Amino acid sequence: MIRLGYKASLLRFLKNGIPFLFSFFLLIIGLFPIRIVFLTQLHVSLVFISLFYWVIFRPDLQPPIVVFILGLCADLFYQTPLGLYTFSFLLFYLIIKNQRRFLTNRSFSFLWGAFSVFVIPLFILEWLLASLLFLHFLSFWSMLGQTFLMIGLFPLIAGGCACLYHRFLEVDE
């Protein structure tokens, strides 16, 4: 068994933490007090793209506990019903993990389409759950608009993930 030095271990730890750190950074970006109307609606939704990418390409670095922590952070950073994002993230993770074999070695446009297919029903479920918790139907169109905006931004975020993957994480596999 080869023992890694202190620096090498730290470097490896940081490299393995990239998927989590990237998703966490997206969570923080959602908090930015941006003054552009359509962008202020994004909030947590960008994290779904990051989760989708890393579960397909490096599931070993995105275990359920990491998804749980991300969800809990989202719930505490934002004024959402507690546990709602934790539940949504884990459900999304479970779905993508189960369908992973159909999603690996596919083209980028296929992944984009697949993401849209998975995320729309999930957001409808999230909207229903939130409406149930508030005991009132929340604005569906606002939620749907946010979902389409997120799908539109998929290439940008997934592109960022792909850059990190090819630069730091591909060789480790």
Partner 1 sequence: MKNKLGRIRVFKGLYRRYAVYFYLFVAAMLILLGVSHHPVIQQIRISIGNVTSSVVSILYKPFEGLGYAVSYLSELGNLHEENIRLKQDNEKLLYWVNRSQKLKQENERLKKELHFVEPAGVRRWTAYIAADNGGSFSRSVLVRAGEKDGIKKGFIALYNEGVIGRIVDVGHSVSRLLLLTDFASRVPVFVGEKRLLGIVQGNNTQILHLTSLPEGAEVKIGDYITTSGHAGVFPPDLPIGSVSKVSEEEIEVLPFVSREDTSFVQLVDYRLTGLLETEPCEEEKQ
Contacting positions for partner 1 (CB under 8 A)? 28-37, 40-41, 43-45, 63-65, 67-68, 71-72, 75-84, 86-87, 90-91, 93-94, 97, 126-127, 129-130, 133-134, 136, 138-139, 142-143, 146
For the bound state, the minimum distance from the C-beta of residue 57 to partner 1, rounded and expressed in Å, comes to 18
Q: Which is nearer to partner 1, 98 or 105 (CB)?
A: 98
Q: How far apart are CA 99 and CA 78, in angstroms?
A: 29
- Of residues 137, 111, 107, 143, the one with CA closest to residue 124: 143
Q: Which is nearer to partner 1, 103 or 144 (CB)?
A: 144
Q: Which is nearer to partner 1, 72 or 153 (CB)?
A: 72
For the bound state, the minimum distance from the C-beta of residue 47 to partner 1, rounded and expressed in Å, comes to 12
Residue 54: exposure state from Cβ atoms within 10 A (0-12, 13-18, ≥19): buried
- Which residue is listed with tokens 């630069």? 167
Cβ-based neighbour number of residue 158 at 10 Å: 21
